[in-house]
Amino acid sequence: MTTATPHAVEALLADIATAPDAHALFADTSDRLQRIAPFDAAVWVATDPINGLTTAPVRVENLHEGGCGTYWESEIFAEHVNLFRDLAHAPVPVAGLRAVTGDQPTLSPLYRNFMRPRGFEDELRAVFRIDGQSWGQLSLFRAGGRAEFDAADITLVEALSAPLAQRLRSFAQPSAYSPENTAHAPGMLLFDTDGNLVSINDEARDLLAQMPPGPSTRTPLGIELPLPVWILSTAGRARLTGGSARIRIRATTGRWLVCHASCLRDGAGRGGSTALVIEPAKPSEIAALVVAAYELTRRELDVIDLIARGLPTGEIAERLYLSPHTVRDHVKAIFDKVGVTSRGELVAKLFTEFHEPLAARDTVRVERN
């Protein structure tokens, strides 16, 4: 039963607003939430706001490695009750399993295959959502003997949804990184029809070593390499749909990586293996994340693009069919959101991380006598 006092909720929201990074955000929020609305296990997940797929970081509490694997497999391939993708668009992005199923949790494959064998009797799911985009999700589990999640629990977690999403969104803002040890060729991983890793190149190993810490699963086919759950879930989504899936990951270097998986087909068009590519993200891959992180509008992004090309206010106004006064208003709003005071600062902050390293690879420097 939830025992949330106004002071406890205020302290929780204050911690969320000042969390230094996503790992601390999940850890501190979970600790405070557990004291207000007790639970026995939890899975905290950041998601790619463009497609809702699992990305880093992931925090798993009180679930051993085998149980964690069962959780991810059930979510990707089996679950059809209380889906995260439905909660992402629901009026209230939080729901309890027993409440949703009319106290018939056995309707859920997750309950039958994962929860009940581990003594869990109810699950509370939440999506962290703001401005129509989902930046994370949460599963809280209660064991037998505890009360099921009730309306008060849902109201409490719903109040955390937007603040958590807003803080996760802020961590997507560009930061300086070191391009050293960045693989030039893309990393390649090949999975068989059962989702087992059967082949990997050296570039993929290098890029996987740059992945942030999080839950991982070892392959059973002899390749001694733990794979992060976000890699497995992306490959699993492609295998499940017979199409493709992609996520964006910020590496420990600060660099953005993109992982895209595709289901391969034979000559008769039958689905078989799944290939996954990991490579440094191109500007187009992270543009939407940058826009969301700074809460920029589509028009503001248009203005930024022309500023980056060096166009003065008058030319920007002509290109966008705006008045110079309107352009100046956009520029002021952009400066306020990004936290800069000049066009040079703006370009350096938004574009140096994404453009300079990419261009540097194709640049030959010479000195003439």
Residues of the chain with pLDDT under 50: 176-183, 353-369
Q: Which domain holds residue 267?
A: 187-284
Would you say 269 and 93 are in contact if contact means Cβ atoms under 8 Å apart? no
Q: Of 237, 255, 284, which residue sits at a domain end?
A: 284
Cis status of the peptide bond prior to 57, with omega within 30 of 0:
yes
The string of pLDDT tens digits covering residues 256-291 is 888 999 999 877 777 789 999 999 887 666 766 777
pTM above 0.75, yes or no: no
Per DSSP (E only), the strands in 144-215 are 187-191, 197-200
- Give the pLDDT of residue 248: 85
Check residue 354 and give its pLDDT: 41
**Residues 31 and 157 occupy one common structural domain:** yes
CATH of the domain at 110: 3.30.450.40
For 34-60, what is each residue's pLDDT tens digit? Answer: 999 999 999 999 988 877 778 888 898
The answer to whether residues 266 and 310 belong to one domain is: no
Radius of gyration over alpha carbons of the chain, in Å?
23
d(CA 139, CA 141): 7
pLDDT of residue 358: 33
Count of domains for the chain: 3
Determine, yes or no, domain membership for 13: yes
Given this model, what pLDDT does residue 129 score?
Answer: 95
- What CATH code is carried by the domain that includes residue 277? 3.30.450.20
